[in-house]
Amino acid sequence: MKPKILIIEDDVPTIKLFKETFPMAGFEIEILDLGKKAIAMVQEIREGKKEKPDLILLDLILPDINGIEILKEVRKYPETKTLKIYALTNYSSAESNEELNKEGIDKILVKAQYSLKELTEIMREGLK
């Protein structure tokens, strides 16, 4: 069975690359482009209406809700608090990293520092 990755990302070129790359790497992906959709999915998982993903790739800057708020929502409930979540961001600061770590992020990935191949390998490792 293919690992399921939930990608919460609004950047269209990035989404296009993920759609082309991740299925070929053996991942089943679902992409949400708004934070409110991610919050709704957390509710569906809690209610047993939706299957849990094996990994969430979370963009921190979304048009509607900050990624940290989504992280807090996921970590709030017993049904979702153990989900593996990797933050995907264009920038990294000590302040934001500290808050992410406090809220229970599993890994922080700065987009510019990784090729798609490297990102795929990092996700593969995290799914073991």
> Which DSSP helix (H) or strand (E) runs through 81?
none
**Segment 33-60 mean pLDDT:** 96
Percent of the chain whose predicted confidence (pLDDT) is above 90: 88
Domain span at 36: 4-126
What are the structure tokens assigned to 72, written together? 């807090």
What is the number of domains present in the chain? 1
> pTM of the predicted model, to two decimals?
0.94
Mean of pLDDT over the chain: 94
User: Would you say residue 23 has pLDDT above 80?
Assistant: yes
Contacts of residues 19-23 at CB distance under 8 Å and 24 or more positions apart, as own/partner, are 21/116, 21/120, 22/120
Closest CA to 5 of 47, 58, 45: 58
* Residue 69 confidence (pLDDT): 95
Q: Could you tell me where the beta strands, DSSP code E, fall in the chain? A: 4-8, 28-32, 55-59, 85-89, 107-110
| Residue found by looking up tokens 């509710």 in the block | 43
User: Would you say residue 91 has pLDDT above 80?
Assistant: no
The CATH number for 34's domain is 3.40.50.2300
What are the structure tokens assigned to 25, written together? 């790497």
User: Would you say residue 111 has pLDDT above 90?
Assistant: no
User: Would you say residue 94 has pLDDT above 80?
Assistant: no
* Residue 89 confidence (pLDDT): 87
